[in-house]
Amino acid sequence: MSPSLIESLRAQCGGPRDGALLRFSLGNALLNAGNHAEAIEALRQAVTFDPDYSAAWKLLGKACLAAQDEAGAAEAWRQGIAVAQRRGDKQAEKEMAVFLRRIEPLG
């Protein structure tokens, strides 16, 4: 992602269009740019705006994993799975369950 896209998204934060989708988009752009810490922050803000945003939980887990925070990734995916189950979002639920199994030991 280009720095100009990230700056454009950042400029909208705090404005009338601020919300889960904007923060998700910013988190995605930051993650793609390799800025894991800021991506995590933006994605945490996305799920604060909308705790039922399963895609944001999924991406938050990926950002945490990219930052080598397996515990954070696992927690994000657990919360995301619960959200997806409540909403009937079977695909997101399955994807996050697969990601979670990859990092958690069988037991």
For residue 45, give every residue at least 6 positions away whose Cβ sits within 8 Å of its Cβ, in sequence order, or none: 23
pTM of the shown model:
0.93
pLDDT in tens, the chain (107 residues): 567 999 999 999 999 999 999 999 999 999 999 999 999 999 999 999 999 999 999 999 999 999 999 999 999 999 999 999 999 999 999 999 999 999 986 54
Give the C-alpha separation, 31 to 46, whole Å.
14
Taking the domains of the chain in order of start, what are their residue ranges?
A: 3-103
Give the C-alpha separation, 81 to 5, whole Å.
30
Residue type, 30: L
For residue 90, give every residue at least 6 positions away whose Cβ sits within 8 Å of its Cβ, in sequence order, or none: 84
What is the predicted pLDDT for the residue at 1?
A: 52
What fold characterizes domain 3-103? 1.25.40
What is the predicted pLDDT for the residue at 106?
A: 57
